Amino acid sequence: MLKEVSGDILLTKAQVIAHGVAPDDDFAQGLALKLRELYPAMAKDFRHYCKVSHPKSGEIWAWAGADGKRVVNLMTQDEAPSKGATPGKATAHNVNVALRHLRRLIDSEVFKSVALPRLATGVGGLDWKIVRPLLQNHLGDLDIPVYVYTTYHANQKAAE
């Protein structure tokens, strides 16, 4: 079940945070930057994963922290055209494919709860009117809470 909330996603009690990035992303802006600051090992592990596996847009990569928090990186944006360049924008196709992969992961790992931002609408540049139906289609029928942080309020816990 999708539940739209307002607050700071970094304060979520959800077992998993899922967010959008690009393949080979340097986590330099938006929620990715905040997650890199909170979990520097995740950003380092992601860079290693990208060098070894060369992921494509639409794929996902899951990480588990020592504190038990899970972060799923959804590659909703196109890869940067060259090293150090700004990643491309998100596409509805990439979001759709990444959410399909996320759903499979949720089902196979039996997650208890998931939190997402307004996926691909910030740095990714997509319109929420395009993304929200994709979230509903892939995650709306889950029997676990899926918290969608629609409005960001720094240091404020959401009513989950």
How many Å apart are CA 87 and CA 74, to the nearest integer?
14
Q: For the packed helices 30-38 and 40-53, what is the interaxial angle rounded to 10 degrees?
A: 110
What's the whole-number mean pLDDT along residues 15-44? 94
What single-letter amino acid sits at 80? A
Do the domain assignments include residue 159?
no
Q: How many domains does the chain have?
A: 1
Do the domain assignments include residue 86?
yes
Do the domain assignments include residue 129?
yes
Strand partners, 115: 17, 147
Do the domain assignments include residue 9?
yes
* Domain span holding position 114: 2-152
| % of residues, the chain, pLDDT over 90 | 89
Q: Are strands 60-64 and 70-75 parallel, antiparallel or unpaired?
A: antiparallel
Residue 2 pLDDT class (50, 70, 90 cuts) = very high
Do the domain assignments include residue 22?
yes
Q: Rounded to the nearest 5 degrees, what angle is found at the Cα of 38, between the Cα atoms of 151 and 61? A: 85
Where on the phi/psi map is residue 24: left (φ > 0), alpha (ψ -120 to 50), or beta? left
Statement: residue 102 has pLDDT above 90: yes
How many Å apart are CA 64 and CA 76, to the nearest integer?
20
Statement: residue 100 has pLDDT above 90: yes
CA atoms within a 13 Å half-sphere pointing along the CA-CB vector of 139: 31
What is the pLDDT at residue 159?
A: 94
What is the pLDDT at residue 86?
A: 83
User: pTM here?
Assistant: 0.94
What is the pLDDT at residue 66?
A: 85
What's the whole-number mean pLDDT along residues 51-68? 94
What is the pLDDT at residue 128?
A: 97
What is the pLDDT at residue 77?
A: 96
Question: Which strand ranges, in their side-by-side order, compose the sheet holding 16-21?
Answer: 2-7, 146-152, 114-117, 16-21, 70-75, 60-64
Nearest partner of 150 among 158, 139, 142, judged by Cα = 158
Statement: residue 84 has pLDDT above 80: no
Nearest partner of 121 among 150, 99, 100, 98, judged by Cα = 150
How many Å apart are CA 18 and CA 104, to the nearest integer?
13
- Return the CATH number at 40: 3.40.220.10
Statement: residue 149 has pLDDT above 80: yes
Do the domain assignments include residue 10?
yes
Do the domain assignments include residue 158?
no
